[in-house]
Structure 1
Amino acid sequence: MPETAQVLPDPRRWKALAFIAIAQLMVVLDATIVNIALPSAQVDLGISDANRQWVITAYALAFGGLLLFGGRISDLWGRKRAFTAGLIGFAAASAIGGAAANEAMLLGARALQGAFGALLAPAALSLLAVMFTDAKERAKAFGIYGAIAGGGSAVGLILGGFLTEYLDWRWTFYVNIPFAALAVAGAFLVIREPAVGHNSSGLDIPGVILATLGLVSLVYGFTRAESDGWGAGVTIGLFVAAVVFLAAFVAVESRVRAPLLPLRVLTDRNRAGVYLSLGLAVIGMFGLFLFLTYYLQVVKGYSPVLTGFAFMPMVAGMITGSTQIGARLMNRVPPRLLMAPGFLVAAIGMLILTQMQPDSSYAGLVLPAQILLGLGMGTAFMPAMSLATSGVQPRDAGVASAMVNTSQQVGGAIGTALLNTIAAGAATTWVAAHAAQARTLGEVAFANQAAVHGYSAAIWWAVGILVVSAAIVLTLVTTGGQGGAPAAASDEDGEADAPAIPVLAH
């Protein structure tokens, strides 16, 4: 008999939020903590320039490709259990990465981190979604979560700088072990999962295979485009394979009784708008992290620690935007009036960075751009995280949460590959057109000028992508402000389910 009574909130939920936040911070910052350590690891392990991006992409590929699987596992297996298993596995993979003796071992560890992260991340977000059902408490909880999700990547750059400069690049992996140990202790002692909405149906194995193959083919296609070119047979083949696999996935999901991704999660226009706009916005953000890291370290000559501190204004902006703007206004204004302006403010910050030159002033150019980027993305991320899991039946909380992370991780992998390809192509074109200036400028200055020209060209694309994200929000996200009580819903068979996570009022 399906449960219809409202489950009382656990009084320890705020303590539980702290441990969930620690786990989420570990997963998010790990996507970028290696960025600053990458030059040192590349030299130490003899990784070629062509393969260095795989240290980042291997993590994002495994993470993005397996997130739907991980989300459904948390719905079937239990969110707390999936959360704990993900933490332990992530810590073990980090230990392997820290001890890597060669390129293959490092890349394998990064892929394992991504796989366990794909189990951990949706379990963390779905725990949050089912534990906080009061509108005001939900706004505060998701404000904290949004700040971590938005600012964690930048925190990773700062922490990576400290660890690389004062210890060793290997500590960018080892540092995850105490994070995970603390979160596991909290999971056992504090976290109590509400006894609602577990999915007792079987696992959709064909869906798992098709979704994973489709997402991996898509991201790998962008990666091969950088090395082989957009017209290469392998590149085109991968994109075609991605379309075929994902189309087959949708067809399977519409027919099986226990789908990996119930299409009811996607057919809501508001959630669809959130997933699409977040994925596009993250394309620009991840590309920017890579470019700005290399600009500050290679072109400007900043140390790893100084580079980390150089990202502090963005972190502060994200925290402010999420907790002071997004969380305070989420219950008062429609989400689109936070998300769309947030993406546009971030686009203005990107627009400033298109003017960068090798001798540009940090205070005059990079600082104001980062503040605007942080404020904009923090303000947009916070309501997006809440909206993406609102109105979802508890039995689907894990997979709905996984879709949030999938859009971000696939967007991040595509952003790293796509914008890197654009930057490399623009730099090559500039070198060919300005070859006569090589002697005048000197070899280093000439190379720096070419690199910066490439970064600027790619950032122009990021500006456009953020504007498109804002347009998608204004078009698809039509819900009003958060409010109302949880309501029971029915599935396709007409059977009542457990109370839904609070629905956004229209």
Structure 2
Amino acid sequence: MSTLVKTRYLTFSLVLLALAQLIYALDLNIVFVALPEIGRELGFTGQTLQWVVSAYTIFCGGFMLFGGRAADLIGQKKMFIFALLVYGLSSLLGGLSWNTTVIIIARSIQGIGGALLFPATLSLINRLFEEGPSRNRALAVWGGAGASGLTIGSLLGGVLTNSYGWEAVFYVNVPLAGIVALAALFVLPADQIRDHKRSFDIPGAITVTLGATLLVYVLVQGPESGWTSLSVIICAIGSIILLTRFALIEQRTSDPLMPISLLHNRHLVTGLTTTFIYMGTFGALPYFLTVLFQNVQHFNALQTGFAFFIPSIAIAIGTQLGAQFTTRFTARNTLLTGFMIGVIGTALLPLGSYPDSNYWFIVPGLVISGIGQGITWTCMWIIASIGVKDKEQGVASGIASTSLNIGNAIGMAVLIAIANAGVHGKTGSLLLTSIASGSRTAFYLASVGMLVGTIVALTLPRQKKQINQ
């Protein structure tokens, strides 16, 4: 294959992988905007409506490691296409939902589709693009597509809900997923020949999937039902038992689902820690910004979508800077830079977080924090892929993705609990003031968490600068 043909081949592959990431990111925000209408039409109560979001989060977080292993053993291309089909069909079911049970089932299946899609996409990038500047640029494009998906999700969610109803936010995924899956059949390279000596490690897969699913359930449902509620306690105990059993299985099996040798990779361990911190800090900001814009400053769905446009552009710019900085200044220095910029920007967000604040007061913080977020996003995935063998890219991506989801669940649980501590029993202007105060507290705590991220970055080994290719 000539260099020109190979370059075009990789370019088309990257476009498809970026589109898949855009679809994945699109769905993170698009449903948020439609939640009030979903609740009214399907008969959700205020306490049960959050399950439209939680069902996706729980199953996506629980099946990530399974998805990574499946990509390694069944094939990254096969799992990529299968995941898109699951995503598209579950979205169709979501749009056709006629009651609360059906839409929660649809969102659960959609979460499983996301858990299969994310590690398959990430591992394909890490296999197709060799370690160094080439992979850095590919991850920047992939990350930029994700940032764009967040913007488009907010905007499209408002437009579709206002114009066609909540069902449209599900239907939009169907043709997108179908087109990308069909194109992948012809564009993506064939999977590597499977080593038949490797097994799926069924006992390990079952215990870690169930254990992780219960853990995410506890972290998501704990703040809603109370940490001492019977369901939360039972699931917490079940999670501990299953994950402990998983650890014992992995020590004894000859072909473990999660090879312990991966944890000897210093870069991967730092990447796992970074993804955890990232989603517990940067990843929690959209929730509090949405609460601030809609509940306190009374933005409608479409206005909220436009409010996220500026930070999403900043994040997209940051993802490109992350690749360039990693190539020129090493991953260690880039990760430090990303987190430090994030600390400064997030600490500025409270300036525009009052009931009577003008939107433009919060914009400087959104821009600076967004750039730091984008830099950190690209860099942490570069770090997590360094030194990982091709045949283990799927499970490594699954581990990192699981860390991402658990970090988000823990970060959200802690920040929401602290932010909402002063709102109980208040109404009217006092309630708005308390919600705004809680959001400011969450922003300050998130910036402290990002500061912890800079300390983690210092644990990375010093490397020579990469040479441009």
Q: Same fold (TM over 0.5)?
A: yes
Contact 2:318 2:372 in 1 (8 A): yes
Aligned residue among 172, 177, 181 for 2:174: 177
Alpha-carbon displacement from aligned partner over 1:207-247 (angstroms, at most 9, x marks no partner): 11221222222222223321343345554454444333323
1:253 corresponding residue in structure 2? 250
2:42 corresponding residue in structure 1? 45
1:114 corresponding residue in structure 2? 111
1:418-497 to structure 2, matched below 5 A, reads 418-428=414-424, 431=425, 443-475=427-459, 477-478=460-461, 480-481=463-464, 483=466
Q: Which amino acid aligns with 1:383?
A: C
1:133 corresponding residue in structure 2? 130
The verdict on how the C-alpha distance between 1:240 and 1:24 changes in structure 2, with shifts beyond 3 A counting, is same
1:351 corresponding residue in structure 2? 347
Q: Distance in 2 between matches of 1:197 and 1:351?
A: 49
Q: Distance in 2 between matches of 1:339 and 1:199?
A: 39
Q: Distance in 2 between matches of 1:152 and 1:466?
A: 23
Q: Distance in 1 between matches of 2:367 and 2:17?
A: 27
Q: Distance in 2 between matches of 1:273 and 1:106?
A: 37
Aligned residue among 211, 214, 228 for 2:211: 214
The yes-or-no answer on 1:402 pairing with 2:398 is: yes
Q: Which amino acid aligns with 2:90?
A: A
1:7-406 to structure 2, matched below 5 A, reads 11-133=8-130, 135-193=132-190, 195=192, 200-232=197-229, 234-323=231-320, 325-355=321-351, 356-364=353-361, 366-406=362-402
- Note the C-alpha offset of 1:9: 5.5
Q: Which amino acid aligns with 2:388?
A: V
Equivalent position SS for 1:210: helix
Alpha-carbon displacement from aligned partner over 1:416-447 (angstroms, at most 9, x marks no partner): 4443333332322xx5xxx6xxxxxxx53233
CA RMSD of aligned residues (A): 2.4
Name whichever structure is richer in helix by fraction: 2
What is the number of residues matched between the two proteins? 464
Contact 1:130 1:194 in 2 (8 A): no
Equivalent position SS for 1:427: coil
Equivalent position SS for 2:160: helix
Equivalent position SS for 1:407: helix
Contact 2:131 2:386 in 1 (8 A): no
Q: Distance in 1 between matches of 2:177 and 2:196?
A: 27
- Note the C-alpha offset of 1:193: 3.5
Q: Which amino acid aligns with 1:387?
A: I
The yes-or-no answer on 1:412 pairing with 2:408 is: yes
Structure 2 stretches of 5 or more lacking a match?
Answer: none
Contact 1:59 1:114 in 2 (8 A): yes
Equivalent position SS for 1:111: helix
Alpha-carbon displacement from aligned partner over 1:136-194 (angstroms, at most 9, x marks no partner): 32221111112234553344222222222232222111111121122112201211136
Q: Which amino acid aligns with 1:42?
A: G
The verdict on how the C-alpha distance between 1:481 and 1:185 changes in structure 2, with shifts beyond 3 A counting, is farther
Q: Distance in 1 between matches of 2:240 and 2:344?
A: 33
Q: Distance in 1 between matches of 2:197 and 2:71?
A: 11
* TM-score normalised according to structure 1 size: 0.86
Q: Distance in 2 between matches of 1:374 and 1:47?
A: 34
The verdict on how the C-alpha distance between 1:87 and 1:446 changes in structure 2, with shifts beyond 3 A counting, is same
Q: Distance in 1 between matches of 2:462 and 2:199?
A: 33
* TM-score normalised according to structure 2 size: 0.92
Q: Distance in 2 between matches of 1:350 and 1:484?
A: 33
Equivalent position SS for 2:119: helix
Between the two proteins, what is the percent identity of the paired residues?
31
Q: Distance in 1 between matches of 2:159 and 2:326?
A: 35
Q: Distance in 2 between matches of 1:330 and 1:238?
A: 41
Q: Which amino acid aligns with 1:14?
A: T
Moved more, 239-248 or 178-187: 239-248
Contact 1:318 1:375 in 2 (8 A): yes
